[in-house]
Amino acid sequence: MEKAKELDELALKGEKSKSKIKKFFSQIAKDKYLYLLALPGLIYFLLFKYVPMWGITIAFKDFSPFLGYVESPWVGWQHFQRLFGNQDFFMLLRNTLAISFLNLIFFFPLPIILSLLLNEVRNQFYKRTVQSIVYLPHFLSWVIIASLTFMLLSKSEGVVNQLFVFFGFEKFDFLTNSDIFWFLLTGQSVWKEAGWGTIIFLAAIAGVNTELYEAARIDGANRFRQIWHVTLPAIRNVIIILLILRLGDVMEVGFEQVFLMYNGAVSEVAEVFDTYVYRVGIQQGQFSYSTAVGLFKSFVGLILVVIANKMSKKFGEEGIY
Binding to another protein (CB under 8 A): which residues in 84-113? none
Q: Please, which residue, 181 or 192, has the CB nearer to another protein?
A: 192
* Contact indicator for 106, 186 with CB cutoff of 8 Å: yes
Rounded Cα distance between 5 and 203, Å, is: 67
Q: Please, which residue, 94 or 127, has the CB nearer to another protein?
A: 127
Q: How far is the CB of 110 from another protein (least distance, A)?
A: 10
Among 1, 4, 29, 36, the residue binding another protein under the rule CB under 8 A is 36
Residues 108-167, interacting with another protein (CB under 8 A):
114, 117-118, 120-123, 126, 129-130, 132-144, 146-148, 150-152, 157, 159, 162-163, 166
Q: How far is the CB of 14 from another protein (least distance, A)?
A: 22
Task: Establish if 28 lies at the interface with another protein (CB under 8 A).
Answer: yes
Among 12, 105, 306, 307, the residue binding another protein under the rule CB under 8 A is 306
Task: From 12-20, 72-80, 99-107, 301-309, give the range in contact with another protein by CB under 8 A.
Answer: 301-309
Residues 211-270, interacting with another protein (CB under 8 A):
217, 222-224, 242, 245, 252, 254-256, 259-260
Task: Establish if 67 lies at the interface with another protein (CB under 8 A).
Answer: no
* Contact indicator for 55, 70 with CB cutoff of 8 Å: no
Cβ-based neighbours of 165, under 8 Å, separated by 6 or more: 171
Task: Establish if 302 lies at the interface with another protein (CB under 8 A).
Answer: yes
Q: How far is the CB of 87 from another protein (least distance, A)?
A: 22
Q: Please, which residue, 10 or 21, has the CB nearer to another protein?
A: 21
Q: Please, which residue, 121 or 234, has the CB nearer to another protein?
A: 121
Sign of the dihedral through C-alpha 295, 296, 297, 300? positive
Among 21, 37, 67, 215, the residue binding another protein under the rule CB under 8 A is 37
* Contact indicator for 253, 274 with CB cutoff of 8 Å: yes
Q: Please, which residue, 12 or 320, has the CB nearer to another protein?
A: 320
Phi and psi, residue 302, nearest 5°: -60, -45
Rounded Cα distance between 170 and 161, Å, is: 8
* DSSP calls for 102-156: HIIIIITHHHHHHHHHHHH---HHHHHHHHHHHHGGGGS-HHHHHHHHHHHH-TT
Cβ-based neighbours of 131, under 8 Å, separated by 6 or more: 118, 195, 198
Q: Please, which residue, 11 or 43, has the CB nearer to another protein?
A: 43
Task: Establish if 50 lies at the interface with another protein (CB under 8 A).
Answer: yes
Q: Please, which residue, 95 or 188, has the CB nearer to another protein?
A: 188
| First-to-final CA distance of the chain | 56
Q: Distances in Å between the alpha carbon of 82 and those of 50, 88, 292, 296?
A: 27, 10, 10, 12
**Total chain residues near another protein (CB under 8 A):** 97
Q: Compute the residue count for the chain.
A: 321
Among 278, 300, 313, 317, the residue binding another protein under the rule CB under 8 A is 278
Question: 100-134 b/e with 16+ CB inside 10 Å = b?
Answer: bebbbeebeebbbebbbebbeeeeeeebeebbeeb
Q: How far is the CB of 111 from another protein (least distance, A)?
A: 10
Among 266, 270, 305, 311, the residue binding another protein under the rule CB under 8 A is 305
Residues 194-213, interacting with another protein (CB under 8 A):
195-197, 199-200, 203
Query: Bridge-partner residues for 61, per DSSP?
Result: 74
